[in-house]
């Protein structure tokens, strides 16, 4: 998840600082958060991975919002 977030924010030139003194940065972050994935939507695939039998390994997941402008 962090790699996807890093790539998305880099392309939009957004800092990861909620306390930024730059108004443009705060505005960009507010706009970006409008397409944030709800916590429940993240929890479901994590629960799926944890619930698998011992002989099954879920090695990697890519979770992204369906609302993307890129």
pLDDT of residue 36: 79
Mean pLDDT of the region 20-26? 77
Percent of the chain with pLDDT over 90: 27
Percent of the chain with pLDDT over 70: 66
pLDDT tens digits, one per residue of 35-55? 778 889 999 999 999 999 999
Q: How far apart are CA 37 and CA 25, in angstroms?
A: 20
pTM over 0.75: no
Q: Which residue has the higher pLDDT, 1 or 9?
A: 9
Instruction: Judge whether 9 and 32 are in contact, CB under 8 Å.
Output: yes
DSSP state of 36: P
The DSSP secondary structure of 10-33, one letter per residue, reads HHHT--S-TT-S-HHHHHHHHHHH
């Amino acid at each position: 998840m962090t790699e996807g977030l890093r790539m998305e924010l880099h392309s939009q030139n957004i800092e990861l600082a909620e306390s930024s003194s730059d108004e443009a940065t705060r505005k960009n972050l507010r706009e970006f958060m409008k397409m944030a994935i709800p916590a429940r939507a993240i929890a479901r695939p994590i629960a799926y991975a944890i619930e698998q039998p011992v002989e099954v390994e879920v090695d990697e997941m890519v979770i992204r919002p369906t609302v993307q402008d890129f």
